[in-house]
A and B are shown apart, each in its own frame.
Chain A
C-alpha cells in the first residue's frame, strides 16, 4: 500500500471545505480530479512524478471505505477526521451526538484486543 499517498489524499481533502464537499457527494470523480490537480503537488511549480494509488487503494477511497483504510494502515487521525467531516452532521441529526463516531468504532470492533495495523511508513 502506498500509505503516504493515501494519507496525502486524506490530509489535503480534509483541510479544504470545497474538496470535502466534493468528496462527500462524488467520491470517484473527486478522486480522479484530485490525482490530476493535487496528488503530485509539491509546490506551485514542482511536481512529484512517481506517486500513485494501487487499485485497491483507489477503490477504497472511491467507496468511502474507512474500514479498509484502517486495516491497511491509513493514519488513524486522518481517517477519523475526514470521515467525520463527511458524515457527522447527518448522523448526528438522525441519531444524536457522536452517532457516526460510534458506528465507526463498532465497524472496527473486530480489532478490539488485537494489535492494530501499523500507521508507520
Chain B
C-alpha cells in the first residue's frame, strides 16, 4: 500500500512569488522574513520524500464558473497547465506545466464515489493559484506528479464544515489503501480569516486575529469537536467574507486525523492576513522529526501545537476578549 508521508496545510498568499523574486530594492520590507519562513517550511515536505502530491485547493473563478459549478472536483489528466492571465496580471505568477498521476486520480475518484462523495471530474483542468502557490512555496522545482482536488469555498450554498472534514477523512482512507509502493504527500491551501472586496480588506492585520488564534490551535491539536461546535458558515462570514477558505485547512486536518497534533506549526502576521504553515507526519520517522526541528529553529516556528493563549495574540485582545477589528465595528 502507498505510504502517506506528510500532510501540509497552509495559506496561499498569491503575493509571495512577486515579493520574493523582485529586485532587492523593490521587495516589501516583510519579504525576507516571509521567505525565510517559507523556505524552512519547504524542508518539512522535502523530508517526507514524496513521489506524488495530492493537492487540495479551490478555483477562484478562473475556470469553474456559475453555469456549472461543482462542490467537489478531481482532475484526471496526464498534464496540467497552470496560471491564468488574470493571475499573471495581478500577482505576477508564471506559467507552469505539471505532470499528473492518472492512476491515483482514477483510483481516488472511484474510491471517493464508493464513499458517497459524488465528485465532478475534469479532463481539461487548468490549475490556479490555490495549487500553484504551494508548488512555488514547497516544491518550486515542480518535479512531482499531482492529483488536484478542488472544493467550493466561493459559491453559496457551500458544503458544511463537517462535510469538508469528512472528505479529508475519506481522502486519507483512499491514500492509505492505494495499491502502490509510492510515498504520497497531501498538500492543501486555504485561508484563516480573510476579507476580499469588502470594507475590512487590506487592513493592517487580518479581519479577525482571534479567530486565527483559535483556528491555529484547533487545527494543530486536531480538535474537530471545537471546530464543529464553533465554526459555521455564518461565523466564518463574521470573521471576514472570504474566511470560508478555512474549510480547506479543515479538510487537511481531516487527512491528518482527529486528536493528532501537528509536527510543525508556523504563522506570520502579514498586513491584511495571517499566514499559517502546518505539517503532520502520519507515519513519522526520526529524520522527518529532525527536519521539522531544524526548520522550526530557522523559522522560529513550533514543533507542536500553537495555542490561542500564545502571547502572539495578546495585542488583539480587548477587555471583552473580542478581536480589535470586530470590537471597532
Stretch from A24-32, A55-63, A69-77 forming part of the interface with B = A69-77
Number of A-B pairs whose CB atoms are under 8 Å?
78
Residue of B nearest to A108 (CB): B199
Question: Which of these, B90, B157, B198, B328, contacts A76 with CB under 8 Å?
Answer: B198
Kindly state whether residue A11 has any CB partner on chain B within 8 Å. yes
Number of interface residues of B (CB under 8 A): 30
- Contacting residues, chain B, for A121 (C-beta < 8 A): 66, 155
Task: Please name all residues of chain A whose beta carbon is closer than 8 Å to the beta carbon of B154 when the two chains form the complex.
Answer: 75, 77
Residues on B with beta carbons closer than 8 Å to the beta carbon of A78: 61
A20 and B198 alpha carbons, distance in the complex (Å) = 22
Give chain B's interface secondary structure class. loop
Pair B156/A108 contact, Cβ less than 8 Å: no
Q: Does A44 contact B (CB under 8 A)?
A: no
Bound-state CA distance A118–B234 (Å) is 11
Interface residues on A, range: 35 or more
The 8 closest A-B pairs by CB, nearest first: A113-B329, A80-B197, A76-B197, A108-B199, A120-B156, A101-B202, A112-B199, A112-B329
When A11-B65, A15-B62 are in contact, do A77 and B86 touch as well, CB less than 8 Å?
no
B206 → chain A closest CB, angstroms: 13
A119 an interface residue at 8 Å Cβ cutoff?
A: yes
Interface membership of A102, Cβ < 8 A: yes
Instruction: List residues of chain B with CB under 8 Å of any chain A CB.
Output: 28, 60-62, 65-67, 84-86, 89-90, 154-157, 196-203, 237, 241-242, 326, 328-329
Please state if A85 and B86 are interface contacts (CB–CB under 8 Å): yes
> B155 contacts which chain A residues (CB < 8 A)?
121
B200 to A112, Cβ gap below 8 A?
Answer: yes
Interface residues of A in 1-39 (CB under 8 A from B): 4, 7-8, 11, 14-17
A115 to B199, CA, bound (A): 12
Residue of A nearest to B156 (CB): A120
Among A14, A85, A105, A119, which residue has its beta carbon within 8 angstroms of that of B201? A105
Q: Is A87 among interface residues, defined by CB-CB distance under 8 A?
A: no
- Are B90 and A84 closer than 8 Å at their CB atoms? yes
A11 & B85 in contact (Cβ 8 Å cutoff)? no
